Structure 1
Amino acid sequence: MLPKILSFAILASSALASVIRMPRSVSNSTSDKLVFCHFMIGITSNRNSATDYDDDMKRAKALGIDAFALNIGVDSYTDAQLKLAYESAAHNDMKVFLSFDFNWYHTGEAGAVGSKIKQYADLPAQLKVDGKVFVSSFAGDGLDLAAMRSAAGTDVFFAPNFHPGQGDFKGIDGALNWMAWGNNGDNKAPTSSHNVTVADGDKAYNDALGGKPYVAPASGWFFTHFGSEVPYSKNWVFPSDLLWYDRWQQILGLAPRFVEIITWNDYGESHYIGPLSSPHTDDGASKWVMDMPHSGWLEMSKPFIAAYKAGDKSVDKYIKEEKLVYWYRPTPKDINCNSTDTTMQGSPNNGSGNFFRGRPNGWESMQDAIFVVALLTSSGTVEVTSGNNTQKFEAKAGASAFSVPMGLGQQKFALTRDGKNIMGDTSLKEIVNTCICGIYNFNPYVGIVPAEKDIDQLQPAGLAMLTQGLTAPCPTNTLGAAKPRATLSRRSLIR
């Protein structure tokens, strides 16, 4: 299935709404609050058994995720992969549900949508909320809800990605807000005159829902960079920077009934938290995803998810293991890659209006900085070295966020306490002023201290389109190649 290309305006507003809580019961969960994670079935056609989904299910469950929202289109392999995903979820005590992608479904296909719901409604892994089969969507405003429910033949808890002012909010049970990033109200980066914050979106949805459950989005990033080498050309970035940290703090304050992480494995839009090694095919995103793991974001969210489910406004007491999570882009934003970048080649299809040549639309909104989140059980000193620039921060017990101006070269991170080295690491990814693989890459590298034992890498199927459209050399899976990982996992502390 090809990446999403639709754009939708959302209503802007200026303040965060309060969520009205209603008495309710939730099936298949011991908590009133549930966390979902969007999962793209469209890039998993190479999975051959239910066990190919087991690692994803186990990782998600350990994180505190209750269910995967299985994004589906009309690909020939969709049912085969759904069968495997539902089977794996049942084996791993996870839940899943269908999320219809209306890039591929049409709003006139209410009968087909209902029939698909009916097909999976009674499987053991199907998420049910308030005794109803839970179903969601990407887009879908205008769907005939009565016809969909009739074809489903069962009670459906429908929480689609309808849009305030467009969709029928009276006929749905809840709604998902997809816009987890600040924007201009028309699916591009915000401008000085058009700035819709994520909190503005929260308010617009809660106002439209009138007390019905809200599925609040949480995402760490958005960058996509498809050129003429594919028919779904698009090239833009939303301001992200410390978004992953800031959004979880907002979620704790907002306390919605549901949260949906966007996403587990949408590599093409750079907002994945799942492993690079998770089996998938390549839609061309490998050019900016190779050597760019995001598993540090997965680890960072664990105490925030626990705090959210407990209804706590602070994450502090849910931090059980001390970690430093850091992320940054691999090059400064003003580097010039026009002579080799894929978006400068050919005659791309811009029917969506989402394609731009050269640097991604919105590139100016990004900071040239290193972002660090400290998860500590007691206070300490965080030291960050970016190139020749070293800064120290006094971090309190709990969660704290810091940023340091980007410097070329090695990136080092350390924690000291009472004059003693507690932990430290040198990132496997240096910041360079050359165009990696010849392209503009605004995807972040996400690392963690203590370092993970294994290096997360794309597998052969996930690299299949790496060289398509490239005009510069692109060495494959080079992360950590300079040294054996055994020496990298316990590197010298930074002192």
Structure 2
Amino acid sequence: MGIVSNRQNASDYDDDMKRAKAAGIDAFALNIGTDAYTDTQLAYAYQSAADNDMKVFISFDFNWWSASQGSEVGAKVAKYANLPAQLMVDGKVFVSSFTGDGVDISAIRSAAGCNVFFAPNFHPGQGDFGDVEAALNWVAWSNDGNNKAPTLAKQLSVSSGDNTYKAALDGKPYIAPVSPWFSTHFGSEVSYSKNWVFPSDLLWYNRWREILQESPRFVEIITWNDYGESHYVGPLSSPHTDDGASKWVMDMPHNGWLDMAKPFIAAYKAGSKFPIEFLDEEKLVYWYRPTPKDVDCDATDTTMQGNPNNSSGNFFRGRPDGADTMADEVFLVTMLKEPATVEVQSGDISVTLEASPGVWSHSVPMGVGAQSFKVTRGGKTVDSLSGTSLRDITDTCPCGIYNFNAYVGTLPAEAAIDQLQPDGLTMLSQGLQVACPTNTLGASSASAT
């Protein structure tokens, strides 16, 4: 709840609730720290969920909560356990966490005063899996086993994490993670400096395919609105405050990823392995980074300035750590009921693809310039599935920084352009070395910050 402290009433959550429900999502994890506004925002979220026939549950963030606060955690659970929107599983109050290994589970249960379905983000070998109902694996990206991108020497897949958790759970339910991306680029302008990217490319598509094959009892999408780590699938316009992420989030909507997930979510919930059975409408969903990875932004990049805090060991100057794991490609998912020919024009690179019925991924080499797509059937253009992206790929540094976030577009295009609101732009200029126009997608002119 840390970045939604500016919401003024329950209705400020309504759009999120409605969007999530329309996508087939059943509940929101409400990640909380110990901020003074937490209860105000929880009350709004629980009320909005009730108003919109959604469910919510608290996820305690142990970056802020202490493992010694089991009784306090339980007391917070008790405060919301009986509200209509509380997610119940197997007749118990569902509660989760971010980390939290070592917390006193018996103290949580005692203070909660109710039956708790405790499903924390414990780590195998660290947390006590003997007294939990389920567990969440947060690591939804290939990695080196130490919270960094994989290397030639150490490569752990997401599915290997699945296996480790399932072994630790020994038959108990598993909450499998699915995430579209992970890049972050905080420099010395904030105290939480970190600068890396995990292999993402076609991760969103490939992981949903794995989910349909494995059919875990629970799936958690990581995340709805963590703009700072670029794995949001909710809208930019969703009310929130700026934690410095606006530098790489502005003009980078991700709504198409949620569109892509809809038939997979429906298939998963139906126990099917065939998303085509749940394809309500034809779409193209495409995404790409705004620049090739060899563009040199050192002269103006925010991470090259000052003396950033590297107490976490996750700060790197310049190009994000893991940049070499990303492909200079444009990624495309065709969601078609009938076969079609797809022409992709990426800058001066032209590629023609034959797309089969169903939900299928494709990739083409990235070219600098405009990005356009044309679908034809029987020699005739399908106008609704053809068009040009609002964002070009350039060989210059956007806002002067390395931006390894993804721009996600759809055809048919969204009716309105998704933009950060003023509260989400307050830190845009902080640390920047060049002027940065704001909210320029589809605009003929923009104001400089």
Give me the TM-score of the superposition, normalised by structure 2.
0.98
Tell me which of 343, 353, 378 is aligned to 2:313: 353
User: In structure 1, what is the Cα distance between the partners aligned to 2:63 and 2:217?
Assistant: 27
Q: Residue 491 of structure 1 corresponds to which residue in structure 2?
A: none
SS at match of 2:131: coil
User: In structure 1, what is the Cα distance between the partners aligned to 2:345 and 2:119?
Assistant: 45
Identity fraction in percent? 68
Instruction: Give matches, 1:74-473, under 5 Å.
Output: 74-422=34-382, 423-473=385-435
Q: Residue 438 of structure 2 corresponds to which residue in structure 1?
A: 476
User: In structure 1, what is the Cα distance between the partners aligned to 2:339 and 2:162?
Assistant: 33
Q: Which amino acid aligns with 1:235?
A: N
User: In structure 2, what is the Cα distance between the partners aligned to 1:383 and 1:143?
Assistant: 54
Report if aligned partners of 1:320, 1:377 keep a CA contact under 8 Å in 2: no
SS at match of 2:97: strand
- 1:392 deviation in Å? 1.0
SS at match of 1:474: coil
State the aligned residue count: 443
SS at match of 1:179: coil
Cα deviation, 1:124-177, whole Å, max 9, x if unaligned, reads: 000000000000000001111111111111110011100111110111000000
Q: Residue 13 of structure 2 corresponds to which residue in structure 1?
A: 53
Unaligned ranges ≥5, structure 1: 1-40, 484-495
Q: Which amino acid aligns with 2:199?
A: P
SS at match of 1:42: coil
- 1:285 deviation in Å? 0.1
Cα deviation, 1:211-265, whole Å, max 9, x if unaligned, reads: 1111000100000000000000000000000001000000000100000000000
Unaligned ranges ≥5, structure 2: none
Q: Which amino acid aligns with 1:314?
A: F
User: In structure 2, what is the Cα distance between the partners aligned to 1:384 and 1:312?
Assistant: 31
Report if aligned partners of 1:225, 1:235 keep a CA contact under 8 Å in 2: yes
Cα deviation, 1:312-347, whole Å, max 9, x if unaligned, reads: 011111111000000000001011111100000111
User: In structure 2, what is the Cα distance between the partners aligned to 1:366 and 1:108?
Assistant: 40
User: In structure 2, what is the Cα distance between the partners aligned to 1:276 and 1:144?
Assistant: 38
Aligned-CA RMSD value:
0.7
SS at match of 1:437: helix
Q: Which amino acid aligns with 2:8?
A: N
Q: Which amino acid aligns with 2:418?
A: D
Report if aligned partners of 1:378, 1:396 keep a CA contact under 8 Å in 2: yes
User: In structure 2, what is the Cα distance between the partners aligned to 1:391 and 1:170?
Assistant: 53
SS at match of 1:236: strand
- 1:482 deviation in Å? 2.8
Q: Residue 62 of structure 1 corresponds to which residue in structure 2?
A: 22
- 1:414 deviation in Å? 1.8
User: In structure 2, what is the Cα distance between the partners aligned to 1:287 and 1:182?
Assistant: 25
Give me the TM-score of the superposition, normalised by structure 1.
0.89
Q: Which amino acid aligns with 2:98?
A: F
Cα deviation, 1:19-75, whole Å, max 9, x if unaligned, reads: xxxxxxxxxxxxxxxxxxxxxx11001100100000000000000000000000001
Q: Which amino acid aligns with 2:375?
A: L
User: In structure 2, what is the Cα distance between the partners aligned to 1:202 and 1:263?
Assistant: 18
User: In structure 1, what is the Cα distance between the partners aligned to 2:147 and 2:3?
Assistant: 23
User: In structure 2, what is the Cα distance between the partners aligned to 1:419 and 1:432?
Assistant: 32
User: In structure 2, what is the Cα distance between the partners aligned to 1:325 and 1:234?
Assistant: 29
User: In structure 2, what is the Cα distance between the partners aligned to 1:207 and 1:310?
Assistant: 26
SS at match of 1:43: coil
Of structures 1 and 2, the one scoring higher in RCO (CA 8 A, sep 6+) is 1
